[in-house]
Amino acid sequence: MTNPSDNQAVDKHSVTDWIACHECDALHQVIELPEHGKAECSQCGSELYRQVHRSLDKVLVFSITALLLFILSHLFPFLSMKIGERMEENVLISATLELFNQGFPELAVLVFLTSIMFPFLVIAGLLYVVLPLVFDRHFNSTFTVFRWVKKLFPWSLVGVFMLGVLVAIVKLMDLATVIPGPSLFFMAGLLVAMVAAQASLDERLIWHRVLEYSQVKGDEHHPVKHGLTSCSSCHLVLHNNQYSHCPRCGGKLHLRKNDSISRTWALLFTAALLYIPANVYPIMTVTQFGRGHPDTIMSGVVHLIDSQLWGLALLVFFASIMVPVLKLLIMSYLLISIQFKSCWRPRDRTLLFRITEVVGAWSMIDIFLIGILISLVKLDAFATIEAGPGATFFAAVVVITLLAAKSFDSRLIWDNCRIHHE
């Protein structure tokens, strides 16, 4: 562990009083913000950074709280279902184990990673980074760990998992009495603590280790025009052709993501093909008194409507049908507009991309719902629920569309407009 004041300065080729927008590549000068202030890109409106009062202390407290709640959530029952004298209960890991037992190891791994492993790694990573910094120390691997924490944030889907739990409880209420276990409340607290930790995080305190900068003055130029490039992880601005990797965080440097358009097209085309069997094959089969009742995504929505659960029906329809379709259409439109060198409303197109990034992961609600139901409804001849092949195809669609969003470089939207203006 070393003292930040003794840490060697970032190389002379860095330009530390400038920041490049990660969405449009506009170059801004960094100056001090008022307390609780937020700096936004003057060109596309995305958040660049913010001033959070006592950020490290808050993140430390929320991260420790999250870790304790995470441990407690695995020590007690999560949900219980009672029919007469028969009682079935599960724990958090039950969904993963039951998916594996039913012959869906790929879904088991996905549920385990997004609802258990990645949230734990995010919490542990934040503690590893923040705890030493509170005492004016840091590890040599601090930047590398924090870079990976940022990569895992979008894949830590505790909020989506809890929404899946809510839908599962409502669907089971007609079948039996559902009893929330202590772990359910610990998990809800974990969600709040993780959201609070992320909201309290001032990344500049990690990358710079002291509060140096805070507000933004817009500049009509961009890094490439000035012979500069920006690290996509820590946002350090450097002169071009000096490094292949960022000297501060170790992230790979690139003016634009390699083969962004072709890779994104390939992923979208794959997702579109997989979306067909995802809707044709059943995602789960409900068996009551020996009679099977397979459900596709759409038939599940219809069943919720027949049960007068309009709110949940709209939620599932939006998350499982509308979001994947709209994401495919929006991403395709953005790629076509770039390839045709369109300069039409670049700020609005950037906003569209930002929305697809935010809502894309919520399609995982169906996968979490299936895992919870099959782990809880195991009542032999009375009622059982089994996962179907459609669930695997649908999970693949969700993951691939998320990867497509990661491979897309929104800065390409603005490159065409700069060419037109020059």
Residue 216 has a pLDDT of 40
Confidence of residue 115 (pLDDT cuts 50, 70, 90): very high
Separation of alpha carbons 292 and 323, rounded Å? 29
Neighbours of 207 (CB within 10 A): 22
8 phi, psi to nearest 5 deg: -65, 145
206-235 pLDDT, tens digit per residue, is 877 533 333 344 444 555 555 577 777 777
* Chain-centre distance for alpha carbon 288: 36
Task: Choose the most confident range, by mean pLDDT, from 43-52, 78-87, 205-214, 276-285.
Answer: 276-285
Confidence of residue 103 (pLDDT cuts 50, 70, 90): very high
Average pLDDT (146-151) is 92
Between 62-66, 258-262, 369-373, 378-382, the lowest mean confidence (pLDDT) is in 378-382
Residue 285: predicted pLDDT: 86
Query: Which class for 403: exposed (0-12), middle (13-18), buried (19 or more C-beta within 10 A)?
Result: middle
Flag the least confident range among 62-66, 89-93, 186-190, 191-195.
Answer: 89-93
* Burial of residue 275, with CB atoms counted within 10 A of its CB: 0-12 exposed, 13-18 middle, 19 or more buried: buried
- Alpha-carbon distances, residue 212 vs 89, 207, 235 (angstroms): 52, 11, 14
Residue 210: predicted pLDDT = 36
Report the alpha-carbon distance of residue 72 to residue 275 in Å, rounded: 38
334 with 411: CB under 8 angstroms? no
Task: Decide if pLDDT at 153 tops 50.
Answer: yes
Quickly state the pLDDT bin for 98 (edges 50, 70, 90).
very high
**pTM value?**
0.87
* 191 close to 65: Cβ distance less than 8 angstroms: no
The C-alpha atoms of residue 196 and residue 188 are separated, in whole angstroms, by 13
Q: Is the dihedral of CA 220, 225, 231, 236 positive or negative?
A: negative
pLDDT band at 3 (very low <50, low <70, confident <90, very high): very low
Per-residue HEC secondary structure of 40-98 comes to ECCCCCCEEEECCCCHHHHHHHHHHHHHHHHHHHCCCCCEEEEECCEEEEECCCHHHHH
Q: What are the strands of the beta sheet with 291-295, ordered from one edge?
A: 291-295, 284-288, 383-387
Phi and psi torsions of 27, nearest 5°: -95, 130
pLDDT mean over 53-77: 95
Residue 271, token pair as written in the block: 């997702």
CATH 3.30.360 fits 258-422, yes or no: no
CA atoms within 13 A on the CB side of 394: 31
pLDDT at site 340: 93
Q: Phi then psi for 178, rounded to 5 degrees?
A: -100, 125
Q: Dump pLDDT digits (tens) for 178-196.
A: 899 999 999 999 999 999 9
CA distances for 266 relative to 3, 53, 197, 334, 404, angstroms: 46, 44, 36, 14, 8
94 or 34, higher pLDDT: 94
Cβ proximity of 283 and 394 under 8 Å: yes
Name the average pLDDT for the chain.
Answer: 84
Q: What percent of the chain has pLDDT over 90?
A: 48
Name the residue among 22, 38, 49 with its Cα closest to residue 207.
Answer: 49
**What is the Cα–Cα distance from 399 to 376, expressed in whole angstroms?**
25
Q: 168 and 376 in contact (C-beta within 8 Å)?
A: yes
CATH 1.20.140 placement within the chain? 258-422
Judge whether residue 12 has pLDDT over 80: no
| Residue 131: band (very low, low, confident or very high) from pLDDT cuts 50, 70, 90 | very high
Amino acid at position 122, single letter: V
Q: With a cut of 90, say whether residue 272 has pLDDT above it.
A: yes
pLDDT at residue 420, as a whole number: 52
Rounded to an integer, what distance in angstroms lies between the CA atom of residue 235 and that of residue 220?
18
